[in-house]
Chains A and B, each alone.
Chain A
Amino acid sequence: MSAFLALVVKDVRQLLRDPKTMLMVLLMPIIVMALFVAGYGGGGGEVPIAVVDLDGGKISWQLIDFLRNVGDFRVDYFASTPEKGEMLVKKGKVYATLIIPEGFSEDVLLGRKTRVELIIDSSYAHISELIWEALNAAVQEFQRKVSEKYNTFSITVNKRTVYGPQVTRVENFVPVVMGILLHLVPMSLIAVSISRERERRTFEQLIVTPINSSDIIMSKLLAYALITISDMVVTLWVSVELFNVRVKGSFLDLLIVSSIMLLCSLSLGLLISVVSKNQLQAYQTAIFLFIPSMLFTGFLTPVELLSGEVRLISKLLPLYYFLRTFRNIQLRGWTLYETIYEVEVLAFQTIFFLLLSIKLLKLRVE
């Protein structure tokens, strides 16, 4: 067996014999998937709102009933005055109060222009946006029904999506889950590998043998890839089989880009490992590096919403390219060839990190 293979076998053995590592590798994909599915998988919850019905007529009741049946809302309170309705929002009892003005039913029946008022708690930007959109949609839909019934004029907007039907929330989160499992986990796992050898002093015995720094780097890469590749396969399998996530492109293409991402994360982790003085520092660096990845790669917020300077940072981060190519294949059904640019960048980054690691790894103990 060559020195290189002997090192691979050694690292695989050590990983398999380390219960903490194995627990992390084996349980991480399942735990992360389970958390996401528990949170986002099923039907959404209901947002509590209040209604101030100053009209009290037939049509206003129909509107309230309609809102109740849309499913996104739960009417918790009926307030008697707009002031009381506003207080409910201010106190945080509800996220919004809908005020139906006096004469609403009459206006609708006579085909006159009318309005409803909405008081929204904007401290939760995401929820207020959701309410705004949903109420608008509900009111529009209600208007359409009413106009049909009473034969008045209305305009409806037909929405047509590409890459539809609507992506479910679980499906949307698969790239994010893969990002965590293919980036954060392998990166932090391998980041401590060399400093651990240093701390346990095995590094000293290792480097008095006639091996090259490339032997150490490449053997660690291969050993950790062999161990963590199970994360990737398990996650993809669980997504498709258990959570019915649709993959529009080819499953093989997904496996290929995921493998390249895995190698890229491991290479970056190795680079961290080479430059870190001890295990703690290596861990911290890995986690610190994950923060910009989380913020600037389309992981949480679309990259297009970021400022120009920050978008330059995005383009340095491997996760940015991975998320793009993964979404292209999973949600858009593109082939590997159609998204080859991102794949090439990932491969280039991997090679760059590896070469730099080999260059920087000094076979010394100082």
Chain B
Amino acid sequence: MIYAVEATKLTKYFGSFKAVDSIDLKVRKGEIFGLLGPNGAGKTTTIRMILGLLKPSAGTVKVFGVDVAKNRKEVLKITGYMPQRFSLYEDLTTEENLRLFASLYGLKGRDLDERVGELLDEFQLREYRYRLAGKLSGGTKQRLALAVALVHKPRLLIVDEPTAGVDPPIRRYFWEYFRKLRQEGVTILVTTHYMDEAENCDRLALMNRGKIVAHGTPQGIKRLAYGGDIVELYTERRALLYLKSFDGVKTILNKDVKDGVLRVKVLVDDASDRLVPIVKNLEEKGVKVLRANQVFVSLEDAFIKLTVGD
């Protein structure tokens, strides 16, 4: 299988500091893949190596099967990149920036005019087309940066912290736009240190101190952190006699009784499979269940759990 991005044993030293430590990364075609981790975890270094902006100390990167070290130009032709901080020419206007980058990606004549027009409309930049990029507001700058990254209709979009220091409406706009792009078949690799945002990703890799500590779907990572899903039940005390014997129940995490009602948190292997049978089984034994639900675990909790003692 050809991955959109396939990094193998990718390593980067800065002097004696190991910024990225032998990571393996596989981004599937057409998914939104998140590289999640705190500042300094090595996310930017990783994507810079994917783009050939940094030379890996060891390891290889392939983008759609093309080795970046050997054929960087082919990779760049199908890849769009939006850096973490605004990197366009502030002394050129919105339109001049778009036209410049369209030309650099080889667009010419009418194709170029059409594409620039499309992007001006798509990202609501038309009213700012003659304004210097340096004089745009933060949100408009971000939209322009995304437009430039997409000017050549790339198959892979790499976005570094698109939402850092950006207002909530624009953050939401970005994620909606990423989902739209995914529908069009674009693969998106996005880094973020906002754990709540990462829930939007199809799959994630959790980075810390240059290493990938976990990867999988957001759900999968949470399961990995806790060893399963957490289910919360409000029921009778008697339930404790039976709970442990049910299929899929791993352990009872905590319990307390209030006004004769038992509140118990149970770790199960898969909440969506087990929740209904558990309630059913209890009721068959004559135990009343007042409420049963899956406990929402944040990725942040999962991250902390996974990196504790690291």
Contacts and interface: CB of A to CB of B under 8 A. Distances in A.
A128 B25 CA distance: 79
B73 interface: yes
Interface string B48-92: 100111110000000000000000111011010101011111111
A364 to B, nearest CB: 6
A1 interface: yes
Contacts of B101: 205, 209
B105 interface: yes
A207 interface: yes
A208 B103 contact: no
A366 interface: yes
A6 B91 contact: no
Nearest to A6: B103
Contact of B87 (A1, A5, A9, A204): A204
A151 interface: no
A14 interface: yes
Contacts of A356: none
Nearest to B44: A365
- Most chain A beta-carbon neighbours within 10 Å: one of B52, B72, B89: B89
A5 B112 CA distance: 15
B103 A3 contact: yes
Contact of B48 (A14, A205, A365): A365
Given A14-B91, A18-B91, A200-B90, A209 B76 contact: yes
Contact of B54 (A1, A2, A364): A364
A76 to B, nearest CB: 59
Interface residues of B, number: 33
A13 interface: yes
A205 B103 contact: no
Contacts of A200: 87, 90
A7 interface: yes
A10 interface: yes
Contacts of B55: 364, 366
Interface string B96-113: 100111011110100010
Given A210-B73, A210-B76, A365 B91 contact: no
A3 B91 contact: no
A210 to B, nearest CB: 5
Interface string A341-366: 00000000000000000000001111
Contact of B52 (A2, A7, A17, A364): A364
Contact of B104 (A7, A17, A363, A365): A7
A6 B99 contact: yes
Contacts of A208: 51, 53, 76, 79, 81
A10 B91 CA distance: 10
Interface in B162-215: none
A10 B53 contact: no
B148 interface: yes
A1, A6, A209: which has the most chain B beta carbons within 10 Å?
A: A209
A211 interface: yes
B85 A201 contact: yes
A6 B90 CA distance: 16
Given A14-B89, A14-B91, A210 B83 contact: no
Nearest to A3: B104
A284 interface: no
Given A1-B103, A364-B54, 8 more contacts: A3-B103, A6-B99, A13-B92, A202-B87, A205-B83, A208-B76, A210-B76, A363-B72
The 10 closest A-B CB pairs, nearest first, are A6-B103, A209-B104, A205-B87, A201-B87, A208-B81, A210-B73, A210-B76, A365-B53, A3-B104, A17-B91
5 contacts: A1-B103, A3-B104, A14-B91, A209-B76, A365-B53
